[in-house]
């Protein structure tokens, strides 16, 4: 036993029994069994044996540092061991933990780094958020925290920067990660007394017919508009929360729904007899043309009939005629800094309508048949999109013909674009006309 580093201090108990000894290395009392100690490679002191084994398994400090650097962090203190927190700094210049030049304090374990496939930095791995950044992101979304950051999913006492309310406690996860509003009052989610809710509904022309169910529940009401195009009883089911966000109370008055009988009469008024039940405002509706000389079956949508006065395409005297002479026109818009390609038949007034909306005529190309003009227009737009030149919106909104536009730049001038139109015509067919 002495040869194995432990000094017996009690009488011999037998080979399979514990024997009280003192470790000659660490000085601690230990109770090894003689039969175990005598096996090859075994020692008498178990604590010293564990330390020795760990020392034999420990990587050199240089190798451990290299592993951490590969995982995206740089150690800034000596290697503490594989299972101990190791103070480091993140090597990513875009680390979300960086704030005003101050790097984040991160302490990953080498053992955890080896098991993980994400960055060793908890901020880059998106499992933690720096409190200063969380506060800034909440303020960006309209609520100012009043107390320190409690965690992503915890309620965070804040002040609304719009209505100045201080009795709101949204969570960071709801406001920033899922994009929900921070203020219940401004978002219409805060429950108010029924008298106030009724007053809000009456102000937008809806008379409640049932008890207040809550801001985001449907509320049986009656539309008060005398010219409401809905059913005779004018029963509607709006949500108060939606109305607070700007929605119209009556879906019939808003034009998003229409009574079946009104829809039928609308189609008949433009010379189309429905052949099937009303399918919806945006769904093609099979109808027969009431013109005795036509009688064609067409499928316009009710929305196009109401908004653009669409009628029977077979006998209409409007619209683009592919068998008639046509123009490819090229327009520019100074305010939008955009160019537009389009087609029209001769003497239709389409270019003039665009000019009244701020577009300027730049060039035109005449075709004997509209088919050639339509083919060239399709190829030009396809070329623009293949170059990743996106269409131009007007203050974030769409408008008539916006999908046929492209943004102008210092390099992408009207001259350059029109020259490419002419070159594309030659490539498609030199005789295209």
Which residues neighbour 361 within 8 Å (Cβ) at sequence distance 6 or greater? Answer: 329, 331, 351, 355
The token pair that represents 369 in the structure block: 């048949």
Which residues neighbour 201 within 8 Å (Cβ) at sequence distance 6 or greater? Answer: 207, 208, 219, 221, 238, 240, 243, 249
221 touches 249 (CB < 8 A): yes
Please give the pLDDT value at position 2: 93
- Give, to the nearest 10 degrees, the angle between helix 414-428 and helix 370-386: 120
- Give the whole-angstrom CA distance, residue 209 versus residue 235: 9
- Give the whole-angstrom CA distance, residue 132 versus residue 335: 40
Least confident interval from 219-223, 366-370, 399-403, 415-419: 399-403
Please give the pLDDT value at position 318: 54
Span 202-245, pLDDT tens digits: 998 999 999 988 877 889 999 998 878 777 888 888 888 778 76
Q: Domain ranges in the chain?
A: 2-57, 61-115, 131-177, 196-254, 260-308, 326-428
SS (H, E, C) the chain: CHHHCEEECCCCCCCCCECCEEECCCCCEECCEHHHHCCCCCCCCHHHHHHHHHHHHCCCHHHHHHHHHHCCEEECCCCCCCCCCCCEEECCCCCCCCECCECCCECCCHHHHHHCCCCCCCCCCCCCCCHHHHHHHHHHCCEEECCCCCCCCCECCEEECCCCCCCECCEHHHHHHCCCCCCCCCCCCCCCCHHHHHHHHHHCCEEECCCCCCCCCECCEEECCCCCCCCCCCEECCEHHHHHCCCCCCHHHHCCCCCHHHHHHHHHHCCEEECCCCCCCCCCCCEEECCCCCCCEECCCHHHHHHHCCCCCCCCCCCCCCCCCEEEEEEEECCCCEEEEEEEECCCCHHHHHHHCCCEEEEEEEECCHHHHHHHHHHHHHHHHHCCCCCCCECCECCCCHHHEEECCCCCCHHHHHHHHHHHHHHHCCCCC
389 touches 411 (CB < 8 A): no
- The pLDDT of residue 430 is above 60: no
Which of the two residues, 216 and 337, has the higher pLDDT score? 337
Span 85-136, pLDDT tens digits: 999 999 888 888 888 888 888 999 988 888 877 788 988 888 888 899 899 9
- The pLDDT of residue 311 is above 80: no
Please give the pLDDT value at position 287: 93
Please give the pLDDT value at position 250: 87
**Rounded to two decimals, what is the model's pTM?**
0.36
Side-chain-facing half-sphere of 183: CA atoms under 13 Å: 20
- The pLDDT of residue 432 is above 70: no
């Amino acid at each position: 036993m002495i040869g194995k580093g432990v000094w017996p201090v009690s009488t011999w108990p037998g080979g399979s029994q514990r024997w009280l000894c003192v470790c000659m290395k660490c000085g601690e009392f230990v109770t090894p069994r003689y039969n175990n100690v005598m096996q090859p490679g075994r020692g008498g002191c178990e604590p010293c044996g564990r330390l020795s084994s760990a020392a034999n398994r420990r990587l050199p400090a240089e190798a451990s540092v290299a592993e951490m650097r590969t995982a995206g962090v740089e150690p800034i203190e000596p290697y503490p061991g594989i299972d101990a927190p190791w103070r480091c700094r993140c090597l990513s210049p875009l680390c979300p933990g960086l704030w005003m030049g101050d790097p984040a304090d991160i302490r990953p374990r080498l053992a955890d780094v080896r098991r993980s496939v994400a960055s060793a930095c908890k901020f880059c791995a998106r499992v933690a958020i720096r409190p200063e950044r969380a506060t800034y992101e909440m303020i960006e979304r309209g609520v100012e925290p009043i107390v320190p950051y409690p965690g992503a999913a915890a309620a965070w006492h804040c002040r609304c920067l719009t209505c100045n309310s201080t009795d709101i406690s949204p969570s960071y996860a709801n406001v920033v990660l899922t994009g929900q509003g921070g203020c219940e009052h401004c978002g219409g989610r805060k429950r108010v007394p029924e008298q106030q809710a009724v007053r809000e509904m009456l102000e937008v022309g809806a008379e409640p017919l049932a008890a207040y169910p809550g801001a985001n529940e449907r509320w049986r009401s009656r539309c008060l508009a005398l010219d409401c195009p809905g059913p005779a009883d004018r029963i509607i089911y709006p949500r108060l929360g939606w109305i607070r966000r700007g929605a119209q109370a009556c879906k019939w008055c808003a034009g998003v729904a229409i009574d079946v009988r009104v829809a039928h009469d609308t189609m008949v008024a433009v010379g189309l007899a429905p052949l099937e039940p009303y399918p919806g405002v945006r769904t093609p509706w099979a109808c027969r043309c009431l013109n005795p000389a036509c009688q064609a079956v067409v499928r316009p949508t009710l929305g196009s009939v109401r908004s653009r006065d669409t009628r029977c395409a077979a006998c209409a005297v409007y619209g683009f005629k592919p068998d008639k002479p046509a123009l490819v026109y090229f327009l520019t818009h100074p305010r939008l800094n955009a160019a537009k390609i389009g087609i029209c038949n001769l003497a239709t007034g389409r270019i003039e309508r665009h000019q009244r909306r701020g577009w300027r005529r730049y060039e035109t190309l005449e075709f004997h048949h509209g088919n050639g003009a339509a083919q060239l227009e399709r190829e030009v737009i396809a070329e623009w999109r293949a170059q990743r030149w996106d269409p131009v919106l007007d203050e974030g909104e769409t408008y008539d013909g916006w999908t046929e536009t492209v943004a102008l730049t210092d390099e992408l001038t009207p001259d350059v674009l029109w020259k490419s139109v002419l070159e594309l015509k030659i490539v498609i067919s030199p005789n295209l006309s």
